[in-house]
């Protein structure tokens, strides 16, 4: 295949944390992106949904992503899920300003069908400076990546292997669990993701699994800071375990327990059978975005930063 100029050809060093300029430049190339999607992707394979991973505090990513999301969802009609990483307090007001600006655009123009939110501020109890914060990113990212991998495993499985025995989370379950819209339209909720694991077998013994305890731990490990005490609208839960352990669990009771803790009394539940010597619970809670207290701190930082910029002398 001959070399094709990509976005990096036009923007070599980013936009200096300025999402406004990045969005403007990206918007000029919307048709190029649509043509590329038709030629390289849609003409070859069906696309049930798209996923984007975004650090919401940056400039280039925040700006360019809006154009891509608009093209995917509103032009190509591809359901789209964003994994949005919020900045931590120690990173300063500018990343907060960018994150709030990005969120307002996404909500206003309905640019995605699901917003899985990962809050780096959860790490600030262990990191007092941005330098020490960055050292914690790999382990935190690994937990989130493992959670998403387990969710995608169920989506790709689509009842092909053990659907006759256990429910499997398919693409429609995944999208429905993240969206709070009615039949009349889409309303973007805000989804937390958590994962907890227990070793179920060692070299010398078989450990007893306490599934209720695993659920409680997963609930306490939300990826969003400040949602404790808030009741989620709906839930998605995946149990990843061996066939032997799955046979011992009352799945209907487990579903009912999680379902009872949601406002809409709605849960999407699936089982991923694995040969690994551990059992994991992956839990996604989708909240009304009005219940996310962290958004207020982003808004405050946005207003603080913008007010300072107005008083900078020009010229």
Residue range 181-189: mean pLDDT, rounded: 71
In-domain check, residue 247: yes
| 2 within domain boundaries | no
**219 in a domain, yes or no?**
yes
Domain count, the chain: 1
Given a cut of 90, whether residue 8 has pLDDT beyond it is no
Range of the domain at 210: 16-310
Structural domain includes residue 155: yes
Confidence of residue 1 (pLDDT cuts 50, 70, 90): very low
Contact criterion met (CB below 8 Å) for 83 and 52: yes
Q: What is the CATH number of the domain that holds 241?
A: 3.40.50.1440
- Please tell me the number of Cα atoms within 13 Å of 88 on its side-chain side: 20
Q: Which has the closest alpha carbon to 224: 117, 95, 87, 90?
A: 117
Dist. CA 216–CA 151, nearest whole Å? 19
Q: What is the pLDDT of residues 30-80, one digit of tens each?
A: 999 999 999 999 999 888 899 999 999 888 889 999 999 999 999 999 999
Domain membership of residue 1 (yes or no) is no
Q: What is the pLDDT of residue 203?
A: 44
Whether 8 maps to a domain, the answer reads no
| Burial letters 221-260, b for 16+ CB under 10 A, else e | bbbbbbbeebebbbbbbbbbbbeebbeebeeeebbeebbe
The predicted model scores a pTM of 0.87
The answer to the question of residue 9 being in a domain is no
Contact (CB, 8 A) for 88 and 131: no
Q: What is the pLDDT of residues 91-108, one digit of tens each?
A: 889 999 999 999 999 999
In the predicted model, is pLDDT for residue 306 greater than 50?
A: yes
Residue 227 lies in a domain: yes
């Amino acid at each position: 295949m001959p070399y094709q100029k990509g976005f990096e050809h036009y923007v070599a060093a980013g936009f200096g944390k300025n999402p406004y300029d990045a969005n403007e430049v990206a918007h000029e190339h919307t048709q190029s992106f649509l043509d590329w999607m038709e030629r390289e992707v849609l003409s070859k394979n069906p696309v049930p949904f798209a996923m984007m991973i975004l650090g919401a505090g940056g400039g280039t990513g925040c700006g360019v992503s809006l154009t891509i999301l608009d093209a995917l969802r509103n032009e190509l009609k591809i359901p789209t899920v964003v994994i949005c990483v919020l900045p931590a307090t120690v990173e300063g007001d500018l990343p907060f300003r960018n994150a709030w600006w990005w969120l307002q655009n996404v909500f206003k123009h309905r640019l995605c069908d699901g917003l899985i939110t990962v809050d780096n501020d959860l790490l600030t109890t262990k990191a007092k400076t941005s330098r020490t914060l960055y050292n914690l990113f790999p382990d935190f990212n690994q937990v989130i990546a493992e959670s998403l991998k387990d969710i995608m495993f169920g989506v790709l499985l689509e009842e092909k292997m053990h659907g006759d025995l256990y429910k499997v989370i398919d693409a429609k379950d995944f999208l429905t669990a993240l969206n709070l819209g009615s039949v009349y339209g889409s309303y973007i909720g805000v989804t937390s993701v958590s994962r907890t694991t227990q070793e179920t077998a060692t070299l010398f013994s078989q450990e007893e699994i306490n599934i209720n305890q695993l659920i409680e731990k997963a609930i306490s490990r939300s990826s969003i800071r400040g949602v404790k005490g808030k009741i989620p609208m709906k839930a998605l839960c995946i149990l990843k375990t061996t066939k032997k352990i799955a046979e011992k669990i009352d799945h209907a009771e487990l579903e009912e327990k999680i379902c009872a803790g949601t406002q809409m009394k709605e849960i999407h539940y699936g089982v991923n059978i694995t040969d690994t010597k551990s059992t994991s619970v992956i839990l996604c809670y989708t909240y009304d975005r009005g219940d996310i207290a962290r958004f207020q701190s982003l808004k405050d930082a946005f207003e603080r930063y913008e007010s300072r910029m107005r008083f900078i002398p020009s010229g």
